[in-house]
Amino acid sequence: MSGRGIANLFFFGVALLFTAVGSSWADEVGDLTKVNQELSEKVDALEKKIDQLESRLSKTEADVSRPAAPVAAAVPVEGVYEVEGANIHVGGFIDTSVNWNFQSPATGVNGNSTLRAFDRNANTFDLNNAQFELSRPAPADGGVGFKTEFMYGTDAQVADSSGFTTTDEFSIQEAYIETKIPIGTGLTVWAGKFATLHGAEVIENYKNWNSSRSFLFTLAIPFTHVGARAMYGFLDGKVTTALGLVNGWDNAIDTNDVKDIEATVGWNPSENFSTSATLMHGSQQAGDRDNPRGILDFVATWKPLPEDLPGLSLKANLDYGWEEDVNVAREDQYEDWIGYALYAQYELNDRLTLAARWEQFWDDQGSRIGSGGSRLWEQTYTADMKVYENLLARLEYRHDGSVDKNFDSSTSDDQDTVGLSLIYLLG
């Protein structure tokens, strides 16, 4: 064959080879397309089954997490008894003490410390207060609640109200209905018996910086009232106000058909400072509507140190009171009294706290002290030890003085006492 014939034969073979290969590739591409379609259909079917399983699983989890029906029986949870429709808060404490008066006063069975109130029993063991509290705060968005405080012990004899007074050691310190009215920031109204707005101290021992109560708390102001009180706050609680009509000073029953008015304004610009001014005015003399008694009370509390330093707290209380015709046998028609108390408290650690109080009280006409009046002063030093989480021990030394012989049956111008209190807190 010639060269041209050989070349033609070569090109013809190459063309035949490519034709065969192209045919084979076309068949394989067709097979792959078919397989891919089958796989896609299977994936779609699997995705539908997964969606069905996830739906069933979500429904099962919702059934498991759904809360059970509420139980009507009371269940105690950290001082709260949860019942259907209400949460009843339970609290209280037991306060017992032993007090020693270095003058060994002769008044009473074992002798009483003069011009003292809640620690007046000297040289004896004492059950001061076994207090039990039940309360349900009114809902913040409007509703009704209540509070009751029952006292048993020698403190109950001091804090009881005229008209409720008995010879036993039981007293109802507070019992009132609380109503929250959703007006503005919320108006709170109390109706019943409640503690006074006056003073830097309260009836409960452990809530005060010192164990014994000051002359101001004992002599210058009332303890409790029966009536109605409304409270309202402004500026996110930085300003608080209260206004009330009550039967009088420690009176459960009105004795002259004239209601006392009480009013207070508090300012709390920060967590480290607060102050309040409180006024009360009305006649306290039985059957007499024309000779009113008034009391003006100021209290300020200040924490001067930064939060990262040990806790030092300071407090001041000033009281001025007046009354007309207290003693008809006297020619003077107007009597008044005034006093101040300064407090300091220092928290050494979580278990030990030290506190001190210095005060002076002037009652020259004797409308509060009696016996022709006098001028008193005292200094008190208290150490608090948290023995256990719910057990507080308080050791206190106090020195009282006067310009006259007002102590130990008018035989001494001073008295010194030491007291030890043990207080168990419920809850």
**Model pTM?**
0.77
Joined tokens for residue 418: 């030491």
**Is the Cβ–Cβ distance between 63 and 393 less than 8 Å?**
no
Please count the other Cβ atoms lying within 10 Å of the Cβ belonging to residue 39.
Answer: 10
Chain segment 339-375, per-residue pLDDT in tens? 999 999 999 999 999 999 999 999 988 888 877 778 9
pLDDT at 290: 75
pLDDT tops 50 at residue 75: no
- Whose tokens are 């101290």? That residue is 201
Q: Select the highest-mean-pLDDT range: 47-61, 153-167, 193-207, 365-379.
A: 193-207
Cα–Cα distance measured from residue 309 to residue 201, given in angstroms and rounded to the nearest whole number: 26
Q: Enumerate residues 6+ apart whose C-beta is below 8 A from 371.
A: 404, 406, 410
Cα 330 versus chain centre, distance: 45
Which of 266, 300, 295 shows the shortest CA–CA distance to 279? 295
Helix (H/G/I), strand (E/B), else coil: 426 = strand
pLDDT tops 70 at residue 19: no
Which of 92, 65, 96, 71 shows the shortest CA–CA distance to 83? 71
**Is the Cβ–Cβ distance between 121 and 99 less than 8 Å?**
yes
Give per-residue burial for 158-179: e unless 16+ CB within 10 Å, then b: bbbbbebeeeebebbbbebebb
Cα–Cα distance measured from residue 230 to residue 240, given in angstroms and rounded to the nearest whole number: 11
**Is the Cβ–Cβ distance between 399 and 419 less than 8 Å?**
no
Joined tokens for residue 217: 């708390």
pLDDT band at 16 (very low <50, low <70, confident <90, very high): very low
The identity of residue 161, as a single letter, is S
Task: Kindly tell me the sign of the dihedral angle through the C-alpha atoms of 369, 371, 373, 374.
Answer: negative
Cα–Cα distance measured from residue 148 to residue 308, given in angstroms and rounded to the nearest whole number: 38
The identity of residue 3, as a single letter, is G
Listed by start position, the domains of the chain span 176-426
Chain segment 212-237, per-residue pLDDT in tens? 999 999 999 999 999 999 999 999 88
**Is the Cβ–Cβ distance between 115 and 363 less than 8 Å?**
no
Helix (H/G/I), strand (E/B), else coil: 225 = strand
- Under CATH, to which class is 176-426 assigned? mainly beta
Joined tokens for residue 81: 């008894």
- Partnered with residue 298 across adjacent β-strands are 277, 318
Q: What is the mean pLDDT of the chain?
A: 82
Chain segment 146-173, per-residue pLDDT in tens? 999 999 999 998 888 776 655 578 999 9
pLDDT at 409: 77
pLDDT band at 394 (very low <50, low <70, confident <90, very high): very high
Q: CA 27 → CA 18, 36, 40, 223, 249, distances in Å?
A: 14, 15, 21, 106, 111
pLDDT tops 90 at residue 337: yes
pLDDT band at 14 (very low <50, low <70, confident <90, very high): very low
**Is the Cβ–Cβ distance between 180 and 139 less than 8 Å?**
yes
